[in-house]
Chain A
Amino acid sequence: MGETQIFNFYSSGEEVLDAHPQADDPDVLAIGNGTTPLGNPNPLGRYAWALQEKLKGRTSNDWVLGSHSGGWGFSSAYSTNPNFLMVPSPSQTAAITDAQLRAEPFFRAKTFQTVDLDPALFGNQGTQYAHDNRAMLLARAFPVRTLPIGANAVAALGSQSNFDMNQLFKSGWPQSRRVEGRDDWFHSDMREVAYTYIFKMFDKIVNLGGLNR
């Protein structure tokens, strides 16, 4: 990166990148019970990023949220119910042997056996396929285990290179956004909110980058 400096402009008021507060281990059946992401009548908006990650490998398609390959989908070989796909308990999974896992990984690259987007991953050229499709596999099949940069500080950058726009750069806030009892800096508010209210953020970028010289 040479002399490049990295700064993180994030918002603790983010809704799209907000941490999803509900259970981390909804089973597949819970999709329909109204308490989990897909039970929500419209999951887009708040929690969209977290739901995308939590649902990798747990949906039957790749349409809106989640994916049907990799992720948190587990192999039916380890289902505790012979008639239905049921995730084993931690103590049951601890009893799985290494030999079993080598023959049948616990987290499969596919959850639903009838549809598999990446059969080449298991063929003779699997390594090459993984190499050639690294970005796609990361996006679709590997869920993250940490919260996103856009709503959180990055410790590796140090406090002086992390800027919480929600705390630091609001200069008043539009009345239309305040009357509902809130004034959080939401997703894309650097574009959505008028310059009058967010000019401090642009000033910071100008000063950091020496763009006014």
Chain B
Amino acid sequence: MKHHITHLLSFAAMFACAYTASIFAQEHYPTATVTIQVVGEDGNPLVGFNVGSGFEIPNKNGVGTSAIGAQGVTNKEGRVTITRPTANGFVYYGSWAEGYYRTSNLTYQFKAHKDGQWTPSNPTLRVVLKRVGDPVPMYARKVATEIPAVDQVIGFDLMIGDWVIPHGKGLRGDLLCKVVRRFVNWKDHDVALEITFPNEKDGLAPIIEKTPPTRGSELRLPRTAPEDGYRNKLATAIRRQPGGPSNEDAKTEMNYFFRVRTVLDEKGDIKSALYGKMHGDIRLDPINSKTSFIIFDSYLNPTPNDRNVEWDRSRNLATGLSDEQRPSAP
């Protein structure tokens, strides 16, 4: 056994020398070839559109990476083929054009290389560009606010962005929040929030978007809120037991459309309602509070019955926001 391990050692030492030497000779990386295809939301190719890509190499100081950048313009099939060297097989790509939302930070990781080429050779990487439609002014804000009290139902006004009087300046309780808290310390707690709504047919409609917020199209969700699928109650919690990991119900891929201030006619049909969306899930932070912080990104369209939730970033109806309260995604 020792004999064989010695062989292995020799092999490993030889290899280590080889790869260490390569650290100081950065010019010989395997090349990667990719075809980036840009399509619209209908799947049709977009011709003459800008494409950018980045192929990673290590920084010369040995920490972090730099990119060998490459740009191109799509052909009649919406394609650009790019070949560049890359040390780790990691490729960034994206596309942009006037009249469309930028799509960026998409990534592809080659897993192997052979004879100086990353494989599989020339995969097609698809970029979907979303057209700027009919964006509207909205009350858009990133909310991170302390729930005023536990064990009480307290309304939050999505238009004013505050708890209702007397806890804040809000006038209408669009979200009715009740937090129940058991908190010993940051290692031992169980805090639950229940959100209900004051009006029949108000509610939240969940929508999953698995692409992380910093990847893909700037326009994260569909432009139009759905007509139905709204749930009148949402329960979420965060908990931890001593010795165990923290566990929260909030999910990074979760988003919501919402309908509030719903007025029904005599038949029970919707006569009037306001629609909006939330980017990301509704999160709790009981650690930095004696109740809990509630955290969510809210976009409210103030025009009754207008389900358009594509926000015009140049027209935010919410005023007096700090940088941290101002959303950037449309």
Contacts and interface: CB of A to CB of B under 8 A. Distances in A.
Given A46-B90, A47-B88, A158-B288, A184 B105 contact: yes
A61 B186 CA distance: 40
Interface stretch (A93-101, A116-124, A129-137, A175-183): A175-183
A188 B64 contact: yes
A59 to B, nearest CB: 7
Which residue, A38, A64, A178, has most C-beta atoms of chain B within 10 A? A178
Contacts of A183: 104-105
A180 B95 CA distance: 9
Interface residues of B, number: 73
Interface in B161-177: none
B251 interface: no
A186 B94 contact: no
Interface in B48-91: 51-54, 56-59, 62-65, 67, 69-71, 87-90
A196 interface: no
A32 B11 contact: yes
The list of the 4 closest CB pairs from A to B, nearest first, reads A180-B54, A158-B287, A181-B94, A155-B246
A75 B267 CA distance: 76
B1 A82 contact: yes
A80 interface: no
Nearest to B248: A155
A168 B87 CA distance: 30
B321 interface: no
Interface in B28-42: 28-30
A12 B323 CA distance: 20
A54 interface: no
B15 A40 contact: no
Given A46-B88, A155-B245, A158-B288, A64 B109 contact: no
